[in-house]
Amino acid sequence: MPACHVDAGQPNGSFPTARSFRYLERVILRHLPRASLLAMLLCSALVVARPAWAAGEDASVSAAVGQIMTEEYPSNLGPAKKKLQDQLAICNRKGCSGPIKAQVLISIGMVTSQLGGADEAKASFAGALQADPSAKLPTSGVTPNIKSQWEDAKKTAPAAAPPPPAGGEEPPPPPPGGEEPAAGRAPPGWKSYDAFVLAIAALKADQEGRIDECVEKDKGSLKLEDQPRTRLHLASCEARIGKLVDALRDAQKALEAGLAKQDAGVMKVARVRVKELLDRIPHVTFIPPTGVTDLEVKFDDRPVPIESLTKKFSVDPGKHVVKAEGSVNGLASAFEQEVDVKERELATIRITLKPTSTPGGVVTEGQIKCMLAAKTQEEVQKCLPQSQKSLVIRVATDVSGYSDTNHVNVFSPGINGSLVSPTAGWNAGAHYILDVVSAASPDIVSTASPPFLEQRHAFGATGGYKPGLYGGQGSFNVSREPDYLSVNGGIAGTADLNDKLVTPRLAYSFSYDTIGRGPSNPLGDITPYKGTLRTHEFDMGVTFVMSPTSILLVGASLQFERGDQSKPYRYVPMFDAERVAPFVPVGATVDLVNRSRLPVRPLEQLPTSRDRYAVGARYNIRIGGNATLRLEERLYYDTWSTKATTTDARYMVDLSRHLRVWPHMRLHYQSAANFYQLAYSAVKDRDGTLILPTYRTGDRELAPLVTITAGGGGRIGLGAPEGETQYGITVVGDVMYSKFFNSLFVTTRTGIYGTVAFDVEF
């Protein structure tokens, strides 16, 4: 028979008999303790599990109550009470432990007490003590009233009224203030009965959703008595109707009051409220137009101080209207814009004034289109006729000086003036320069010539006319030295193409130079004239407007020189072709040259024709609105095989409306003319006659060299830039260092030169 088979006792599984029932009874009785234990365990599990479930509910309710008392107490008493009653309903429905239920009831009591319901508060406290006799008030947020009501509840706890009905299950609790104090008597903690009544009315309005009335009642209460809790409640209502700026101000005042009275409850809530509002409040800032001196700006019809326009203003979210007025180029102009500012947003409003009227009341179609498309104030101003004078006169005078290590010194005063009529399109100008030159360069000293002192007078005049897109310009220049006279005349034409974005220019000039010897001829050999030099020059250039801040000039020039331009005072040393010339060192001194040279002293002789070609570009770009970078590059070649590259750069910075400074750098490199030699040699023919090189020169500017120039300048504008008369003082200075790679006497030259100029324009 199976040992574990518990049946009626029949070994073979047949229907149980009485004997089997008695067996069964014995089995049951034997196993009853075990079964009972199992049942008890199951029951215990249920019992244990229920508290576990209840513990979970406890934690949830406790957390909810804690949050309500942190966030809503004492500022939002109405909503706080409702939420607490909901938690009590959960406790009653799902079950909470005594301490938790007591916590809820204590919180309800505190809120009700603040709402003025003393008896109701006591009832809640009594219910709390009934749920947990060891319950206590919290350490913060307890007013004297609450403490007093709690003590009363403790005394009458056994007979305390049942806890107030939970919301959601019972009809809603009576409105706050149902248990009002005696008429005319302010309750404890209040000085003004009317203020208290208004505060209660605000709470009621809040609970019923009439937030505007809430604000009105709270403000009325505060006028009578400044209660921090009332102010916090006011801040809450104001925030809910979008008056964030007012809400922040009131929350900050409540915080200050809480700090002054050491009211921890108020301080805690006020801090949270202030932080929340600071995060939510949007801001507005303005970009004012430039050049408008009589600007007035209003934001929602309230004036905005001009000096504060670029600061950030706190505003309420929603729609606002910005209005501005001022004069643009003498025309009354206005601006109006509606902005919709969202919470947390920083709105930037660019004020662009547009004329409301023009002289004579007429604005051209082009001006209208231009202004409508304008995005900034500068663009609008450019659309309107600029205030122009009919005649602009400019006079300038300058004094320049030059000195170098070759003992060449130049003093050069000058004066120039111009008349320009921007409206009629004509211009005229003239200049005069005097160069006083003293030279004792090695070239002169090596020939035993005394240093010389001479003057050069240069005069020039120019005039042009450009009534529209096309214009012409003429010029005339004369330069006179004792042994050199140069006369030059030229014409040029320009055109404005592609809406003035492309401006080509063609020019031609002719120079006629007379080379002679004058009284200062060191040899005393007066020759009426040595010869003439005629130069035809063609210049072409195109200016491109590349962008609103940059322009590019590309140009080329062709010069055709015909005539003998050899220097009449420059003698070229000759050396023995085999024994001396190859060994003359670069930079050989005057003494060495004089000791090594042949006795012959031929004059310099250059080719009588020279074609010169150059291409160049100049790029100007305005950077940052207050600086201009000017870059130039030139490539040169001529029929004497001289090749050169020249790079020039200036960075002109407007440090203020009156002061401009700039550094300057220039780099020039050139190769030698094809007939240039360090040491020329002369050979004797069979007759003993010396054969000289056909072309010979001692001009270092025909030798390979590199020149680096560095310096700078500055200009100070005197008086207001927009004044009728403008004055300016300009000072420039440069240091020039030249390295001669294959020259006699000197291998380097350092020169310094500068100019001080004064100009006036009216």
Site residues for other proteins, window 537-596 (CB under 8 A)? 537, 539, 541-549, 551-559
As a whole number of angstroms, the distance between CA 267 and CA 258 comes to 5
Q: Which of 432, 465, 637, 675 binds other proteins (CB under 8 A)?
A: 637
Total interface residues for other proteins by CB under 8 A:
98
Among positions 103, 230, 412, 677, the unique one binding other proteins when judged by CB under 8 A = 412
Residue 45 token pair: 């599990």
- Under the criterion CB under 8 A, does residue 461 sit at the interface with other proteins? no
156 binds other proteins (CB under 8 A): no
Q: Give the x-and-dash track for 183-212 against other proteins (CB under 8 A).
A: ------------------------------
Choices 75-83, 332-340, 569-577, 662-670; region in contact with other proteins by CB under 8 A: 662-670
3-state SS, residue 645: strand
What CA–CA distance (Å, rounded) separates 657 from 715? Answer: 11
Q: Minimum distance from CB of 713 to other proteins (Å)? A: 7
**Binding test (CB under 8 A) with other proteins, winner from 474, 607, 632, 675:** 632
Position 515: which residue type? I
* Minimal distance, residue 527 CB to other proteins, in Å: 24
3-state DSSP call for residue 55?
A: helix
- Binding status of residue 757 toward other proteins by CB under 8 A: yes
And the tokens for 621? Answer: 């770009």
Name the one range near other proteins by CB under 8 A: 42-50, 241-249, 583-591, 608-616. 608-616
Tokens of 486: 């140069």
Look at the block and give the residue holding tokens 């049951």.
28
Q: Minimum distance between the CB of residue 708 and other proteins, rounded to whole angstroms?
A: 12
Whose structure tokens read 């809400």?
247
Examine residue 374 and tell whether it contacts other proteins (CB under 8 A): yes
Residue 615 sits in the site that holds other proteins (CB under 8 A): yes
Contact 667, 540 (CB under 8 A): no
Q: Rg (Cα) of the chain, in Å, rounded?
A: 52
Backbone angles phi, psi at 425, to 5 degrees: 90, 10
- Considering beta carbons, is residue 65 or 757 the nearer one to other proteins? 757
Interacting residues of 647 by C-beta distance below 8 A, sequence separation 6+: 631, 632, 633, 634, 666, 667, 668
Is 618 one of the binding residues for other proteins (CB under 8 A)?
A: yes
Q: Quick one: which of 736, 743, 744, 746 contacts other proteins (CB under 8 A)?
A: 736
- Give, in order, the Cα–Cα distances in Å from 506 to each of 95, 131, 471, 501, 633: 102, 107, 11, 17, 20
User: Residue 306 phi/psi, 5° resolution?
Assistant: -65, -35
CA nearest neighbour of 598 among 709, 679, 702, 512? 679
Q: Give the Cα separation of 438 and 443 in Å (integer).
A: 13
Q: Report in angstroms how near the CB of residue 319 gets to other proteins at its nearest.
A: 30
Stretch that binds other proteins, among 166-174, 228-236, 689-697, 727-735 (CB under 8 A): 727-735
Bridge-based pairing of strands 643-654 and 609-623 is unpaired
Residue (74 or 751) nearer to other proteins, CB: 751
Residues 283, 622, 658, 739: which binds other proteins (CB under 8 A)? Answer: 622
Enumerate residues 427-456 that contact other proteins by CB under 8 A. 435
Q: Which of 531, 616, 693, 712 binds other proteins (CB under 8 A)?
A: 616
Nearer to other proteins, 139 or 293 (CB): 293
Q: Rounded to an integer, what distance in angstroms lies between the CA atom of residue 688 and that of residue 251? A: 116
Tokens linked to 9 = 């006792």
Residue 112 near residue 88, CB atoms below 8 Å? no
SS3 state of residue 503: strand
Smallest distance from the beta carbon of 235 to other proteins, in angstroms?
Answer: 49
Output the DSSP codes for 245-298.
Answer: HHHHHHHHHHHHHHHHHT-HHHHHHHHHHHHHHHHH--EEEEEPPTT-TT-EEE
Using the rule CB under 8 A, give the single segment among 6-14, 24-32, 592-600, 628-636 that binds other proteins: 628-636
Q: For other proteins, which residue of 650, 677, 698, 744 counts as binding (CB under 8 A)? A: 650
Quickly count: other Cβ atoms within 10 Å of residue 371's Cβ. 20
* Pattern 475-514, other proteins, x by CB under 8 A: -----------------x-xxx-xxxxxxxx-x-------
Selected from 85, 236, 642, 743, the binder of other proteins by CB under 8 A is: 642
Under rule CB under 8 A, residue 352 binds other proteins: no
Give least dist CB 518 to other proteins, A: 19
Does residue 410 touch other proteins according to CB under 8 A?
Answer: yes
Q: How far apart are the first and last CA of the chain?
A: 136
Counting every residue written for the chain, the total comes to: 762
**Contacting other proteins within 696-725 (CB under 8 A):** 701-702, 705, 707, 713
Single-letter residue type at 215 = V
Among 373, 391, 453, 691, binds other proteins (CB under 8 A): 373
Beta strands in 548-658 (DSSP E): 550-563, 574-576, 609-623, 627-638, 643-654
Of 218-226, 325-333, 523-531, 638-646, the segment contacting other proteins by CB under 8 A is: 638-646
Residue indicated by tokens 């909901």: 86
Q: Is 352:376 a contact under the CB 8 Å cutoff?
A: yes
Q: Which of 87, 124, 670, 677 binds other proteins (CB under 8 A)?
A: 670
Site for other proteins in 671-700 (CB under 8 A): 673
What's the rounded Cα separation, in Å, for the pair 757 and 716?
Answer: 11
Q: Smallest distance from the beta carbon of 450 to other proteins, in angstroms?
A: 21
Give min distance, CB of 710 to other proteins, in A. Answer: 13
Is residue 418 close enough to count as binding other proteins by CB under 8 A?
no
Stretch 327-346 residues interacting with other proteins (CB under 8 A): none
